[in-house]
Every structure is written in structure tokens, then in C-alpha cells.
Amino acid sequence: MSEYATRKVILLCLLCFAPVSLPAETVKPNIVLLFVDDLGWYDLGYRNAKFETPNIDRLAGEGVDFTRAYIASPTCSPSRATLLTGKHPARLQLVRHIPTGTTNGFDKWGRTDQEFNQWDGDPAQFPCRNWLPLEHTTYAEALGDLGYHNTFIGKWHLGHEPYHPDKQGFDVQFGTSNFGHPKSYLAPFFKNSDVLSDVKNDYLTDVLTDRCVDTIKSYEGDQPFMLSMWYYNVHRPPVPRPDLFDHFKSKGYDDTDAIYAAQVKAVDESVGRIRHALATKGIADDTVIVFLSDQGSWYQNLPLRGSKRVDTLCEGGARVPLIIHWPGVTKPGTQCDGLVQSTDLFPTFVEMAGGDSSAFSDLDGISLLPAIRGNPLPDRGEPLFGYRAYQDLYASVRDGDWKMLAYRSGKVSLYNIAQDESEQNDVSESNGDIVKRLTGELVAWEQRMNVQQYSGVQ
């Protein structure tokens, strides 16, 4: 009998004979990670009535809503690499999305032998990786060593076949292509790929959700599992499910708003179906659900400044929804307003599973378990750093209420986010001491990440 099964038997016996109940953390929980693409912080019903997300709203009401959660490099591939490894994209040398096309050295199937790519518009000409090297430990590998079965479903965007999920610690993968987004959310989904080519009449999010539900229904292992559902939605192309588009058009939405609201609602329906499958299987109380977006929306996320296209290190591009629900551990209706980052998820998963995150080298985050249990976040000992390699704006330093933006050209700007959430009032000139301190923090951090040669402030 496995360790997990033995502990289950012990727990059942104790429940029969002991007058007190044991905490949910006594047994390793299943973990379901719902990772959405390009979902803005305000693009949920409980924050913005324009969107209909009753299932996600319910999840937020039952778990911990991390209201100040940030992506270390708000871009598709870097956000995924950091989530997987707990390492900052700058450390990984993966600070842009992995491109495609013959001009970038890729064949039509999204494969390349070139390890690095360049971006014409990047002032620093930072060489960025075309895949996540296998040498880095992923959360799937870490949890596998702790007895977990790992299933991956959906978007990868961290390299072609030799670097796919099944080479990075996942036992099963489904719906994974070499591309960062589909050709369409209506079949056929992908160009130059056999992935899901047998699907004729369905919506991509529903196909992936069907697989999630089937995985939960059929799972009979005597070990805990982690199910990673990495959505392609709500990334472009702007292709809605027809019935959901009609629903929002009937409410008076214009085409653009109806399409996006329909894409968001498709994700929300998926979340509801996955949670229903867990409840039907009788394992909802044994399962942690983590809901996260990879970066801000394609669209403006007013009143926040920035999006995935413009001023991306500003709040509208870098701040994302993060909800964690652990039955019996999280207190319903809890908000955590402390600063957290996607670097924090790897150590959190390891410690949820009963492991020791300090056993892993070069992690750039902290475990969120204290906040999940209702306690204050531990002091991480340094600010949050954002970093990208596309335009002049390349780095952010977030420390308490202060946020400094740094540019390759040497410019810096400073905002008090508590007073100026929209980042409209640059107060750097009147707060030279804070600018000096945060600039020093950035310089030291760039040196630790070994990216000082591309700095705009060194």
C-alpha cells in the first residue's frame, strides 16, 4: 500500500474513533491548477459587472483572493517558465515569448535548432531562449518525487516536442502543440499540427475541459494527483463560442465586447464543470484549486494602466487574478493584499505536498502557505522585480506602496500605487531618496540574475 493510501486509512480510523477532526493538511491534497491566458485583473464578474463569471466568483468567495498578485515577466512563455520552475525569467534567460516563423529560424511545425532568438525592437538585444532547458526542475518533477501523478492539458509555449510536458515531469499531456495560440477556437484548431485534428465540431476550451473532466472521473490511482489545465483562452484570435456570443449580443454588447465576454464566460463554464467533476467524484474536499492568469488582457484594463501590448509592466499588464481554495484550510471570503508573484507558486505547491522548498536551489519566490492558512505573508527580504526585453521599458521594482519603472534609455519613473493605482502621477523628482534606493535594489538584482550587461540603470 502506498504512503498516500496508508495515511488515508489512518485518517478514516481516527475519524471513526476520535472526537476531534484532523486538519485538511494531514493528507496530501490533490492540486488543480487553472492557468488562463491573457485574462485581465478586472475581467471577472465580482470586479466588473460587464463579465459573467459566477463559478470563478464563487471560487474567490470560498478561498483566498490575492488582490496584489503579479507576473514576473508578463508575457506568454516567460510566465509559464516561472510558474513551472519558481525561477525568475531573467535567471532563465527567457524574457520574451518564443516566436515562430522562418525569419526566426523555425520550420512550419514550430520547431528549431536555434537555442536563442533576437527581437528587432529590443534596445538591449537580449538573446532569449527558444525552449525551457530540461535541466531546470519543474513543479511536476518536484511533486512526482513526492508521490504525485501529473497531468498536463492545454497550452505549453515552452518549446517543441523534445521540451514538451512529457519531457518535463508530466505523466500525461493532452492538447499540447508547438504554438502559443490556436488558429481558431473552432475546429480545426491548429495550422501545421496534428494536435486535436480529429475534432470536427467543438470549441477548443470545451474539448480541453472534457479531457479534464474525464481525467477526474476515471482517476483511480492510490496517489494524489496534480492536474494542470493551461487554457489557450482568452488569448486571441477573437473567436467566441457562437451561443455565448449571441448571449452577449442580445444584451446589447458590441461585437468586440461580446466576443471577449464570451471567451471569458467559456473559461468560467470550464471552471464550473471541473469543480462539479471533483464534487461528483467525491474528492472536492481533498483538492486544492489554484486559479491564475499569465498576464494582463489584450484590451485596456481601466482604470489600471497598461495591457499585454502597451506599458506591460504597469498594473494593467503585470497584475493578475490569483485565487487559491483549499477546503478546510482557507477561510471563505479571505483577501490577501500583500505583494505576491508568480515565482511564489512553485514553493507553495511543494509545501502543499508536504515537501521542503528550501531543498531547491535558485528559487526566486516564497511559499504562500502562511497566507493560505490566514496568517501574514513572510518577509521576502527584497522587492518584487518585473523584467522584459521588448521595448525601452524593461524593469519594474515594487516595494510596499512604491513602484519604480526603469527604461533601457536610463529614464526612471516612480509611483505610489496606494494613492495612484492608475500610475498617472510620476513622483520621482520629489522622492529622490526612494528612487536612489530602488535603483540600487535593481542594480544588485540584475547582477544576481547575471543580466547587468543589458541594464538601463547600471
pLDDT in tens, 174-193: 999 999 999 999 999 999 99
Q: Is 418 exposed, middle or buried (0-12, 13-18, 19+ CB in 10 A)?
A: exposed
Say which residues have a Cβ less than 8 Å from residue 19's Cβ, sequence separation at least 6: none
- pLDDT recorded at residue 38: 96
- pLDDT recorded at residue 27: 82
pLDDT band at 19 (very low <50, low <70, confident <90, very high): very low
Q: Tell me: pLDDT of 267 over 60.
A: yes
For 229, how many CA atoms within 13 A lie in the half-sphere containing its CB? 28
Q: What is the pLDDT of residues 138-175, one digit of tens each?
A: 999 999 999 999 999 999 999 999 999 999 999 999 99
Q: Which of the residues are catalytic?
A: 76, 157
- pLDDT recorded at residue 222: 87
> Residue 269's Cα: distance from chain center in Å?
19
Gap between the Cα atoms of 268 and 182, Å rounded: 19
- pLDDT recorded at residue 25: 59
Q: Tell me: pLDDT of 46 over 60.
A: yes
Q: Side by side, which strands form the sheet with 322-325?
A: 172-174, 149-154, 225-230, 30-36, 287-293, 322-325, 64-66, 334-336
Say which residues have a Cβ less than 8 Å from residue 342's Cβ, sequence separation at least 6: 69, 70, 71, 72, 79, 82, 83, 292, 320, 365
- pLDDT recorded at residue 401: 98
From the list 344, 318, 322, 317, the residue with the least C-alpha distance to 85 is 344
Pick the CATH number of 392-454 from 3.30.9.10, 3.40.50.300, 3.40.47.10, 3.30.1120.10: 3.30.1120.10
pLDDT above 70: percentage of residues in the chain: 94
Cis ω for the linkage preceding 234 (within 30 of 0): yes
- pLDDT recorded at residue 221: 76
Amino acid occupying residue 279:
A
- Domains of the chain, by residue range, sit at 31-372, 392-454
Q: What is the pLDDT of residues 226-266, one digit of tens each?
A: 999 999 999 999 999 999 999 999 999 999 999 999 999 99
The mean pLDDT value for 91-104 works out to 97
Q: What is the pLDDT of residues 322-366, one digit of tens each?
A: 999 999 999 999 999 999 999 999 999 999 999 999 999 999 999
**CA-angle at 295, arms to 443 and 110, nearest 5°:** 100
Equal CATH topology for 31-372 and 392-454: no
Q: Tell me: pLDDT of 24 over 90.
A: no
Element housing 65 (H / E): strand 64-66
DSSP one-letter code for 186: B
Pick the CATH number of 31-372 from 3.30.465.10, 3.30.300.30, 3.40.50.1970, 3.40.720.10: 3.40.720.10
